[in-house]
């Protein structure tokens, strides 16, 4: 199959690599040239313009945020250049509002649109172990399944309205941030009582909280290493803003999300924008003066 | 071995039952007589007074809170009546302050004291599947291991200062409450966007959040059944107060804990004290007016 | 002088009435016709289109929010129709971002622009007792002073960048909402201890808090009458959103603002959008179950 | 009249000085001797023991907190030594719980008890300008009025249950802390937009917020001087704890109070315990990175 691919950040590069590896004809575009060259070395073709990626059976996009999606896909005529019958899989974490708008733009052009945000970090992407939440027309999703199966270990359909997949993704990211903050506060409390973070977290993440997210971020918090960032605090702030915008649209009070927003802003305002978002735990320790207590 | 056991609530009854079942000579005391009769029917002996339970090799106590511990163990002369060499295993979730005071009371009388709060609900207790966090003199803990092994699937030592086990337990319960609130807010957000709670929670608790706590409370939240309570909101409030008192002692700001305290108080003040503490999710839905939207 | 006036809500109608009363030639436009007729009866002239109001020495606009400003002033060609040398006084509470954009739109057309948001309710507007925060070119402000003096009792200049006036207005409205919430919580606490709201508030607002805002909203809270709304909860939510957007732009954590946002959303989501924003106090009482305690 | 006076901190010394100045026979006791000597130089008599101060018509106590009241008044037999018919005026900010207990202790001994917490700082105390909230038996209060009139400019009765006066005082102090935090956040927001704190606060405290508390703390925030403390952050934390304990007793959620508690703890944990509690504003600025922006 012919697949166009736009957006070769850490996640995008890993995913596009899998599609190439599976033997598909993949045409890639990225703002900066380096990852394009890497993919071409593996057998992909370089697209001169974003619109060139849309001359395909499938278009897969993995862009950083709403602004990037607007700048590349909408403003550079990608949809207008699309091969009739194209199915667009949008893997990015974008706003609920943009998902609605996007679905409509495809509908008008008779193109397929599947909102397909993913859970998982780059290592999982490289192994095809992502979890993909999908929403859109069910026949379209069925046709896209062969592509989705290369990308993820499982596809989770949540209905035909595209924005629902984004709402699930946004709510899921809120849950991750919330788990980090929770561990951060719990560790600050127990450290103040003389208990090592690793000792405390080992107990909880081996028992009640034996879940991938708690193990992953628990280890990061115990080691107090927030560089290099797997997912930066600035992106955490972006995602909490998405949650709050989605909540705003339906007047859903979310006090934990509000607290997370303030804490991410504090991280960003005090020089920590590029630390991993797990640095919420560092902030919790700093507020308790634990860095001063030796 | 001779074991005295004080406190036959849901948890205590299940644990005492296991000790009897393991062939030990167990003398039980409880404020109300009914669970005593049940244990006697299984082979236990009834203690006329709390102090009678202390004439043993081990004393196991599982009382509801600080006040109950003071009223029964301290004010009724239990420690003064103890057989020399007695080891006291205190399974209750009590304050850090009481743990310190209690350790000192035993030290003065040359009695062994092991703070041994447990994670797990009554069904786990009945099967010996609890996780026990222990703190105290290491030789004492070693001598108590045969008893601990009947009660729990694993013992997690956290040092020799008794209050550390309580700090871990308190921090762990804060983490559970926090996980509930997090799911509650995420479900309110996604429900407002048309996604079923069970659908949403199934995705998250099958993947990133595939942990016992999330599965247990996720199921309860999806079913919207908060009666009968496994652990009541009023107890949740008690435990958050313990967390905040422990935080106060060392000036540890915990914004999530503060939010949880306010929400548990709202549940209690608006007629929900006896609902399961998972009703935090019901409160999140109510705040978003989801009960009015049909 | 010739003055165009757009936006005859409660505030706008009162202000335009003063300008007419002061003998100026005032041409008014409003989306709905009724207030236009009222002003015409007092001596104003009706503008057929918004753009007609810009054929004047001054254009005064008092629209509800960013969307209304965009829909009327930007999208209906008002600025393009302006008489050369026109000075535009924008009294509305709009976002910092719109203020920046607006200043630029005027600069390009060589029109004067003064951001001039006001503090005060309609009664104060009718008496010319508003406080006006102004920002813009100082010579322009000086030329506008005769008009400003009819509208307000005092003009408070805050520099030449238009958006600063809006930031001050937004921060001021945050402070009012915060004062209401504070009284609401304090009254809930003291009522729970048996003290009448009016008794409590009388002490505080006669002494430490003897300020207009506390007296005004204290009286409303004591009487528990939130209808008819002087300023609705839905508008309070809008203004807190403006504060949070302004805070977002510079990563300023504002925990009180976050709490207010959640509470206003709860009011709106539970049927109270049209109550006065002082109903924050009603919410505080409801959370404490005071409505159930009789 | 014979008046015993216990507790010569900044406030107590000023108040006792007024009673001496009014010609009464005042016998003073304080933990440290220096303020006793100062009062003796003005005409007071030194009490050898706290109990000696109770051999009088009136006993006035102004101690720092619950612990000090317990240590001095209860544990040193002051009430047992009291002259029959003595009326005790307790000016301190103590817990609602202690107020209830104290009222009962006096009732049993047939002594008069008036809870009489005061609003105002030491300078106001020296001029007799305090506002006194009183609760207790109305005939007793009437008999105490001549003494109260020397201390304060006005007496505000709130009923016969002593603890009500303390609830009002505690709620009032919460309102002050809340006003400080509000100004701190508003100033952080406007400073980030280029507006001087003094400029912003001058507008608001000259208009809507023209109240003594806003002017006093607004000036402190604008000057960014938090030393020497008129009222230290550590005392602010103490008072918020009193508010939260009073709220706990009746399950009153107070989200602003929760936020204030976390912020005061952060101030205390990060080295600011001895700064004025207005340093909440410094914390708001620090969270926004304003100290790094120059």
pLDDT of residue C294: 58
* Alpha-helix residue ranges (DSSP H) falling in chain C: 10-21, 34-41, 66-69, 96-108, 122-126, 138-151, 162-192, 197-206, 212-223, 233-249, 255-269, 280-287
| DSSP-derived 3-state class of residue A214 | helix
Question: What pLDDT shows up at residue D294?
Answer: 58
What's the average model confidence in pLDDT over D196-225? 97
Answer yes or no: are the C-beta atoms of C89 and C147 closer than 8 Å. Answer: yes
Q: Which residues of D are catalytic?
A: 169
Which residues in chain D are contacts of C172 at CB distance < 8 A?
A: 186, 203-204, 208
Q: Domains in chain C, start-ordered, CATH in brackets?
A: 2-160 (3.40.50.720), 166-292 (1.10.1040.10)
A189 to B96: CB separation less than 8 angstroms, yes or no: no
Q: How high is the pLDDT of residue D293?
A: 75
CB atoms C254 and A261 under 8 Å: no
How would you write chain B as a 3-class SS string?
Answer: CEEEEECCCHHHHHHHHHHHHCCCEEEEECCCCHHHHHHHHCCCEECCCHHHHHCCCEEEECCCCHHHHHHHHHCCCCCCCCCCCCEEEECCCCCHHHHHHHHHHHHHCCCEEEECCEECCHHHHHCCCEEEEEECCHHHHHHHHHHHHHHEEEEEECCCCHHHHHHHHHHHHHHHHHHHHHHHHHHHHHHHCCCCHHHHHHHHHHCCCCCHHHHHHHHHHHHCCCCCCCCEHHHHHHHHHHHHHHHHHCCCCCHHHHHHHHHHHHHHHCCCCCCEHHHHHHHHHHHCCHHHHC
Residues of chain D positioned with their CB less than 8 A from the CB of A255: 255
Nearest to A172 by CA among A120, A107, A237, A104: A120
Q: In what order do the strands lie in the sheet with D2-6?
A: D45-46, D25-29, D2-6, D58-61, D87-90, D112-115
Mean pLDDT value across residues D8-35: 97
- B288 vs A96, A252, A257: nearest CB: A252
Query: Tens digits of per-residue pLDDT, D138-168?
Result: 999 999 999 999 999 999 999 999 999 999 9
Contacts of A63 (CB under 8 A, 6+ apart): A6, A7, A12, A69, A72, A73, A92
Catalytic residue among C169, C215, C225, C238: C169
**Residues of A in Cβ contact (< 8 Å) with C255:** 258-259, 262
For B174-204, the pLDDT digits (tens) are 999 999 999 999 999 999 999 999 999 999 9
* A82 secondary structure, DSSP code: P
The stretch D269-281 carries a mean pLDDT of 97
Q: Residue D257: enclosing H or E segment and its boundaries?
A: helix D255-269
> How many Å from the N-terminal Cα to the C-terminal Cα in chain D?
59
CA–CA dist C49, C78 (Å, integer): 9
Between CA A39 and CA A51, with CA A45 as vertex, the angle to 5 degrees is 110
Q: What are chain D's partners, defined as 3 or more CB pairs within 8 angstroms?
A: A, B, C
Q: Which of B253, B255, B266 sits opposite D253 (nearest CB)?
A: B266
With bands split at pLDDT 50, 70 and 90, how would you rate the model's confidence at B294?
Answer: low
Q: For residue range B111-159, what is the model confidence (pLDDT) as tens digits?
A: 999 999 999 989 999 999 999 999 999 999 999 999 999 999 999 999 9
CB A187 within 8 A of CB A201: yes
- Cα D166 to the center of its chain, rounded Å: 10
Split at pLDDT 50, 70, 90, the class of B292 is confident
Q: Which tokens sit at A135? A: 């929403």
Confidence of residue D287 (pLDDT cuts 50, 70, 90): very high
Is D292–A271 a contact, with Cβ atoms under 8 angstroms apart?
yes
Provide the terminal-to-terminal Cα distance of chain B, rounded to the nearest Å.
Answer: 59
Q: Tell me whether residue C100 is exposed, middle or buried, using C-beta atoms within 10 angstroms of its C-beta: 0 to 12, 13 to 18, 19 or more.
A: middle
Residue to test with chain C: of D193, D209, D215, most C Cβ within 10 A:
D193
In contact, A262 and C254? CB cutoff 8 Å: yes
Residue of chain B minimizing CA distance to D266: B253
Which band of pLDDT confidence, cut at 50, 70 and 90, is reported for residue D248? very high
DSSP A185-210: HHHHHHHHTT--HHHHHHHHHHTTT-
Chain B contact for C266, CB < 8 A?
yes
- The residue annotated as part of the active site, out of B13, B129, B169, B215, is B169
Q: Which of C266, C269, C288 sits opposite B269 (nearest CB)?
A: C288
Q: How far is B30 from chain D (nearest CA, A)?
A: 28
In this structure, are residues B274 and B228 in contact, taking their beta carbons and an 8 Å threshold? no
Q: Verify whether the Cβ–Cβ distance D287 to A269 is below 8 Å.
A: yes
Alpha-carbon distances, residue A138 vs A112, A117, D81 (angstroms): 10, 16, 87
Mean pLDDT of chain B: 97
pTM score, whole prediction? 0.96
Percent of chain B with pLDDT over 70: 100
The helix-helix angle for A138-151 and A10-21 (nearest 10°) equals 90
C149 and C126 Cβ atoms separated by less than 8 Å: no
User: How near does any CA of chain B get to the CA of D263, in Å?
Assistant: 7
Interface test with D, best of C171, C243, C251 (most D CBs within 10 A): C171
**Chain A CB within 8 Å of residue B289 CB:** yes
Average pLDDT per block of 10 residues along chain C, 294 residues long: 96 97 98 97 97 98 95 95 97 96 96 97 94 98 98 97 98 98 98 97 97 96 95 96 97 98 98 97 98 76
Give the minimum alpha-carbon distance from B237 to chain D in angstroms, rounded to a whole number: 10
Query: Which distant-in-sequence residues (6+ apart) come within 8 Å of B132 by Cβ?
Result: B91, B116, B117, B118, B119, B148, B151, B152, B154, B155, B156
User: Is pLDDT above 80 for B171?
Assistant: yes
Mind telling me the catalytic residues of A? 169
Residues in B touching D247 (Cβ below 8 Å): 265
Q: Within chain A, which residues score under 70 in pLDDT?
A: 294
Point out which residues pair with B2 in neighbouring strands. B25
Q: Which residue of C has its CA nearest to A251?
A: C265
Considering only CB atoms, D181 lies closest to which of C161, C256, C287, namely C256
């Amino acid at each position: 199959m012919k697949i166009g691919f736009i957006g070769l950040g850490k996640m995008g590069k890993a995913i596009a690599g899998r599609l190439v590896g599976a033997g598909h004809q993949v045409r890639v575009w990225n703002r900066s040239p380096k990852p394009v060259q890497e993919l071409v070395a593996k057998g992909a073709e370089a697209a001169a313009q974003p619109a060139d990626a849309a001359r395909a059976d499938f278009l897969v996009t993995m862009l950083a945020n709403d602004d990037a999606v607007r700048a590349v896909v909408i403003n550079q005529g990608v949809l207008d250049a699309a091969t009739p019958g194209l199915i667009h899989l949008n893997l990015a974490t974008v706003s609920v509002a943009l998902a609605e708008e996007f679905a409509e733009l495809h509908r008008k052009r008779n193109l397929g649109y599947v909102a397909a945000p993913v859970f998982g970090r780059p290592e999982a992407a490289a192994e095809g172990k992502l979890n993909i939440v999908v929403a859109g027309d069910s026949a379209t999703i069925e046709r896209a399944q062969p592509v989705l199966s290369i990308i993820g270990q499982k596809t989770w359909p949540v209905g035909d309205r595209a924005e629902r997949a984004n709402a699930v993704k946004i709510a899921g990211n809120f849950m991750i941030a919330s788990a980090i903050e929770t561990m951060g506060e719990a560790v600050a409390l127990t450290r103040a009582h003389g208990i090592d973070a690793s000792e405390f977290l080992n107990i909880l993440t081996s028992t009640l909280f034996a879940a991938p997210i708690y193990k992953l971020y628990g280890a990061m918090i115990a080691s107090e290493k927030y560089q290099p960032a797997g997912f930066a605090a600035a992106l955490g702030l972006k995602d909490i803003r998405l949650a709050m915008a989605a909540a705003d649209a339906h007047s859903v009070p979310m006090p934990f999300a509000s607290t997370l927003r303030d804490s991410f802003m504090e991280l960003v305002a005090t020089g920590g924008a590029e630390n991993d978002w797990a640095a919420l735990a560092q902030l919790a320790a700093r507020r308790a003066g634990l860095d001063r207590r030796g």
